[in-house]
Each structure stands twice: as C-alpha cells, then as structure tokens.
Amino acid sequence: MPNYQTPGVYVEEVESGSKPIEAGATNIVGFLGVAEKGPVNEAVLVTNWTQYTKLFGGMHTGGWLGHAVYQFFQNGGTKAYINNLKEMPPKEENAEAENADENAEKVPVKIENPEDIAKLIIGVDEGVGKKTGLYLFDTVPDIALVCAPGVTEPAAQDALLTHCEKNRFRFAILDSPEELEKGIDTMPMPRDSIMGAYYFPWVEMYDTVADQNVYAPPSGGMAGLYSRVDSTRGVHKAPANELFKTALGLKYSLTDAEQELLNPKGICCIREFPGRGIRVWGARTISSNPEWRYINVRRLFCMVEQAIQNGTNWVVFEPNTRDLWKKITRNITSFLLNIWRSGALFGDTPEEAFYVRCDDELNPPESIDAGYVVVELGLAPAKPAEFVVFRVSQKTLGDE
C-alpha cells in the first residue's frame, strides 16, 4: 500500500480477483496437401473458397487438397490453415484436347496425391523458419483439427496421430482407402489413438474443373461438418447424424449388417438413407480405451484443458497460499458452470456434473516448497445416445 504524506484524496485501482476463463476456437483446421499453385511450406490462413482459389488455385488432378477445402467450406467450415507441401510442375498444353469435339464422351479424370506424399507430410525440422510438413503446424497454436485429404499411407497417418498427441489439443480426421481389395471386414486400420477418427467410404462430388463427378476422400467435408456442429450446437455434440453437403453419392453403400462389423472397430461410416440424404453415421475415435470412445468427449476435454491452461497463466509466480487456491477454484468453477449450462456435462446440478479441488491434501508443505500448486478437476461428460432402444409390449384390458 502506498505511504501517503500529503493530505488529499487518492484513487487506487484494485484488481477484482476474478480472472474469467474463456473457451478457445475448436473448429480451425490445418490442411496438408498439394495445391495447384501458391506458396509452399507456409501456413496460410484462408476463410472462404474464393480466397483459397486466388492463392492456391482450384481443384486439379495432382492432389486432393482443392477438393477437400471446397468440401470444408461448403459444409460449414470458416477458417483453415493451408500448408502446400510441393510446387506443381507447369501444365502441358494439349492442343488436340482443346480442339476435341465438345460432344465427345468425357474420359473419367484420374486424381492422385504425389507418390512421396507421406514423406512430405512427415516433413523436416531444421530450425526456426526451416520447418516443413507437420512440423510447420507446431508454430500455429490455433489449429484444433488436422487433415491430409486422400492420404491413406500408414506412415503418414501415424505421423498425423503422433502430431496431435504431441500437441495435446488437436484431433486428426483420417481417410480410409478408396478401394477395398478384399472383404469389408479386412479394411486396413490406423493405429490405436484417442486423437483421431477414421471415415469410410469416399463420397461422390462434382469436380468443377473436370466438369464431372468424382469420388473424393471425406476428411475435408468432415472437417467442415465438425466446424458446423461446433458453431451451432457446441463441441460437446457428436459430429454425427448430420447431412454431408456436396455428397452426391457414395463409393460403397453400407447395410446395417456391414456397419456392425465396422462400428466396434472405430470406423465411422457415411451412409445414405431414403428421404434423409447422405449422413455421417458414426461418432467413435479409433481408440480401444472405452473412456475415450466418442469423438465429442475427447474434443470436449481438449477444449476444457486448453482453456484452463491458457486462462490460468496469471497464477504463475503468485504467492502459493490458501487465498490463491480459493481464487483458482472460484475461476475454474465459474468456467465449468458455463460448460454445464451449455449442456456439455451430465447432471441435474453442478455438483453432479463436476468438481474442483485445491486444498491442503493436494498441496502438502513439501509440494509447496517444491513450487507446486495442484488442482484436481472431475467432469461428467454428456455422451451421445448411440443406441436408442424403445421397449414395446402389448397392453391388455385391465392392466394398469
């Protein structure tokens, strides 16, 4: 407190003690792929399809990035960082094709990622300003979802999952192969991870450049769908039973019996229902851990953990006293109360939905002497109604 010597009126500003914790964005996507043109190995933010086409060109046959970004914005996506991994060679002029009869039957276009796409995605880290591939996204903290459209190589998918696990608050959306070589029960799977989801099959969409329908990987559209659900319902809502916009058909039409084989493995299916359109019909991660079975539960915890980490930086180097513990508990409780009111947590009262502890038991003298302050949180997340069962029986006269 200042030591005043001259008589008079003095006004002092005093902190209220309340440090609100705010949830960050959960729908910003990082795309990796090969664009038609544009900067290479730079994380460039785009907010709409027109902006993307000006910087990176449109759809092309040298990779799936353009198709995925188009799906993303059409399905409700708003912000995406584009990492163009490789410069495309200049187009070869084909005079014969230009002079061909317009009424001739179109040849199906063949679209493929480069053969070295896995190596490009894994990238290298040669220091500041010399990062490529996934290492470049380490410098962009805003990214919450990561996609590499059409990339099904095990090494690349493993790198995507490892990247998300290392960054803790990111989630990978993975594509299945376009073609099934054997039966549906032998579909290749990514490795076990709580930070990824795997979608099957590929969807049919209109290629505006080739002027024909093509089968495209679903990860770009799924990223847009995640973004749409986050904006309209919240990150706690499972990104399932939602319409897949831009999808005109599916590479494979699945039955209930076929999905019974895929759903327990963590393969999220995209299906077509008469009168209801093409919808996402799965909400599981590829983890074998039942605690993290559902995508929305994993992403909810990512959001909460990141918000608490970013919103409690003021605590560092504060006097480690019971007064500090009370402030931390009050601020986190206020944040979780808003999360509960949004419908993200299960429970009729806040006490049923969550708890926050920061007391002498968690912070003994030896822990305080070591510079630690420990806070314990418990959340009861709202899990999706995956199997809805109605029990129907006959009622006879006289039954009550």
Can you give the pLDDT at residue 146? 98
Can you give the pLDDT at residue 271? 97
Distances (CA, A) of 137 to 33, 40, 235, 328: 13, 13, 22, 31
How far out from the chain centre does Cα 211 lie?
Answer: 30
Under a CB-based contact definition with an 8 Å cutoff, are residues 32 and 172 in contact?
A: no
Can you give the pLDDT at residue 105? 63
Can you give the pLDDT at residue 88? 81
Under a CB-based contact definition with an 8 Å cutoff, are residues 239 and 250 in contact?
A: no
> What is the full per-residue pLDDT of the chain (400 aa) written as tens digits?
678 888 989 888 877 767 889 998 999 999 999 999 999 999 999 999 999 999 999 999 999 999 999 999 999 999 999 999 998 877 665 544 444 444 446 788 999 999 999 999 999 998 888 899 999 999 999 999 999 999 999 999 999 999 999 999 999 999 999 999 888 888 999 999 999 999 999 999 999 999 999 999 999 999 999 999 999 999 999 999 999 999 999 999 999 999 999 999 999 999 999 999 999 999 999 999 999 999 999 999 999 999 999 999 999 999 999 999 999 999 999 999 999 999 999 999 999 999 999 999 999 999 999 999 999 999 999 999 888 899 998 887 766 5
Which domains are assigned to the chain? 29-89+109-297 (3.40.50.11780), 312-379 (no CATH)
